[in-house]
Amino acid sequence: MDEQQRQTRLLEVIGTIYDAAMDADRWPEVLAQIAALFDVRSGLLRFMDPNCRSVEFAVMHNYDEAYVKAYAEHFVHNDPVNELLMHHPQGGGRTTPLVDLPNHKHSEYYNDYARPQEIEHLAGAILSRDGESLSIFGLQRSAVQGPFTDSEMLLLRTLFPHLQRALKIHGQFGVLRGLKSAAESALEFLPFGVVALDENGKVILFNRLAQSVIDRKCGVLVLNGRLTATGPGDKQRLQRLVANAIAVPGQGGGFQVQTTSPAFPVLMISTMPLTPGSEALGGQWSHARALLFISAPERSRPLDSQLLANLFSITSAEARIARDLMRGLDIKSIAEHNGVTQNTVKTQVRQLMRKTNTRRQAELVQLLLNLPSSGGGG
């Protein structure tokens, strides 16, 4: 392979490295390409705890599983190459002929581990070091293949920064994937329905409680992939609500729906635009632009007035208004229920929003619905 061919192959390898950062299943392909580029017998990417010398082989190329197990259980503790790498700059790269190490030719490591596998020459580097673990990249050659030349080490060093960045990206996406899984699991424990909508207002996913309401076709249902209301007036309000939420910039809102279902006689529908960043979670979440919440105030547990007082300094009169809002009552009905004027109710609602740092009535109701309940009454 001439130098021009090697440079072309190197660019291909770098491309695959960044593909592997997003797709862990492609790391074996990365090692296979690097092994072919440098004509080596084997290669590996492993993580090691430098204190207790525990090791985890993340990716391997052309390694016997029996020797992998033997290394993890025993030979990691007397591998002289680890000592060399520990004191070598991160990412600097190093080439080591095993037989040239002091007294190494007569060591247990060489005779029982390296030599049976025809490992005579090594090249590698520490890709990352954070105090608790090391990520180590290594290539191995036989005596027939010969040592790594200076030009090969120079070429290999050009790969190390790309491997380091790819590992970092891979780690960040691992965290995001964990957040995605946690977010999807958390949806199922919420006391209200949640529906994720894309930029066209189409339903992407929903939790079990939302599905229960939708399946009953009481107030809302999914038609042609979009959420719609069963009542003509409610249908138009829902369309406006969704359009405002998925717009740029988005705007939340809410309204209540009267249904004929004894299970959900009143539904509170509210929306919240999603801030940029959810697309990084990948999967269906990458297309989510807004969340729609479905709550059934009549099924809500009693609101804890003492909790409201402790959290927001809300008075008992304001707590009564809060409970009526959670039941889905409008301003007129709340005024009649409490024997006060509508202006008084409006003033108390504004006070509730100020104390809870909410900007809209729908946002206030959603916050109240998410609060822990009391054991009995309010």
* Domain co-membership, 281 together with 259: yes
Distance CA 336, CA 328 (A): 14
Report how far apart, in Å, the C-alpha atoms of 289 and of each of 16, 18, 205, 222, 225 are.
31, 28, 12, 18, 15
Distance CA 303, CA 312 (A): 14
* Domain co-membership, 254 together with 348: no
What is the signed CA dihedral for 188, 189, 193, 199, rounded to 10 degrees? -60
State the pLDDT confidence band at 31, using cuts at 50, 70 and 90.
very high
Highest mean pLDDT among 19-33, 153-167, 195-209, 296-310: 195-209
Distance CA 278, CA 285 (A): 6
166 in a structural domain: yes
Contact partners, residue 303, CB within 8 Å, separation at least 6: 319, 322, 323, 326, 368, 371, 373, 374, 378
* Domain co-membership, 292 together with 309: no
Estimate the share of the chain in helix, then strand, then coil, as percent rounded to the nearest 5: 50, 20, 30
Q: What is the pLDDT of residues 226-255, one digit of tens each?
A: 998 888 788 888 998 899 888 877 777 777
Q: Is the pLDDT of residue 98 over 60?
A: no
- CA 295 from centre of chain: 27
* Domain co-membership, 353 together with 262: no
183 in a structural domain: no
pLDDT value of residue 180 = 57
pLDDT value of residue 375 = 43
| 374: Cα within 13 Å, side-chain hemisphere | 11
pLDDT value of residue 297 = 57
**Ramachandran sector of residue 200 (left: φ over 0; alpha: ψ -120 to 50; beta: rest):** alpha
Give the range among 31-35, 200-204, 304-308 with minimum mean pLDDT. 304-308
State the CATH number of the domain containing residue 264.
Answer: 3.30.450.20
274 in a structural domain: yes
* Angle made by CA atoms 197, 200, 202, in degrees to the nearest 5: 45
31 in a structural domain: yes
Highest mean pLDDT among 16-25, 178-187, 364-373: 16-25
38 in a structural domain: yes
* Domain co-membership, 58 together with 100: yes
31 or 50, greater pLDDT:
31
Cβ distance 258 to 233 under 8 Å? no
Strands 193-197 and 290-295: antiparallel
* Domain co-membership, 137 together with 66: yes
* Domain co-membership, 37 together with 149: yes
Which segments of 181-225 are extended strands (E)?
193-197, 203-206, 220-223
Burial class (CB in 10 A: 0-12, 13-18, 19+), 192: buried
140 in a structural domain: yes
41 or 274, greater pLDDT:
41
* Domain co-membership, 160 together with 67: yes
pLDDT value of residue 378 = 41
131 or 146, greater pLDDT:
146
State the CATH number of the domain containing residue 43.
Answer: 3.30.450.40
Q: Is the pLDDT of residue 132 over 70?
A: no
Q: Is the pLDDT of residue 323 over 60?
A: yes
**pTM of the complete model beyond 0.75:** no
85 or 161, greater pLDDT:
161
Sign of CA dihedral 281, 287, 289, 293: negative
Distance CA 293, CA 269 (A): 6
Q: Residue 68: in which H helix or E strand, if any?
A: helix 65-73
* Domain co-membership, 159 together with 51: yes
Q: What is the pLDDT of residues 167-225, one digit of tens each?
A: 877 665 554 455 556 566 666 666 678 888 999 999 998 888 888 888 888 788 898 99
Count Cβ atoms below 10 Å from residue 52 Cβ, excluding itself.
Answer: 9
Cis peptide upstream of residue 89 (ω within 30 degrees of 0)? no
> Could you list the residue range(s) of the whole structural domain that residue 339 is in?
301-378
Count Cβ atoms below 10 Å from residue 26 Cβ, excluding itself.
Answer: 15
Domain count, the chain: 3
158 or 144, greater pLDDT:
144
State the pLDDT confidence band at 160, using cuts at 50, 70 and 90.
confident
What does the mean pLDDT of the chain come to? 79
For range 277-293, the mean pLDDT: 69
pLDDT value of residue 117 = 93
User: In the 8-state DSSP scheme, what is residue 373?
Assistant: B
Distance CA 128, CA 261 (A): 59
pLDDT value of residue 57 = 63
* Domain co-membership, 282 together with 338: no
**% pLDDT > 90, the chain:** 16
Residue ending a domain, choose from 125, 157, 178: 178
Highest mean pLDDT among 97-106, 285-294, 319-328, 333-342: 333-342
Residue ending a domain, choose from 146, 178, 210: 178
Cα Rg, the chain, nearest whole Å: 31
Which segments of the chain are extended strands (E)?
42-48, 55-61, 94-97, 121-129, 134-141, 193-197, 203-206, 220-223, 226-229, 253-258, 266-273, 290-295
Q: What is the pLDDT of residues 51-93, one digit of tens each?
A: 666 777 678 899 998 998 998 888 888 887 777 666 665 655 5
pLDDT value of residue 92 = 55
* Domain co-membership, 123 together with 154: yes
Residue ending a domain, choose from 259, 274, 299: 299
* Domain co-membership, 280 together with 319: no
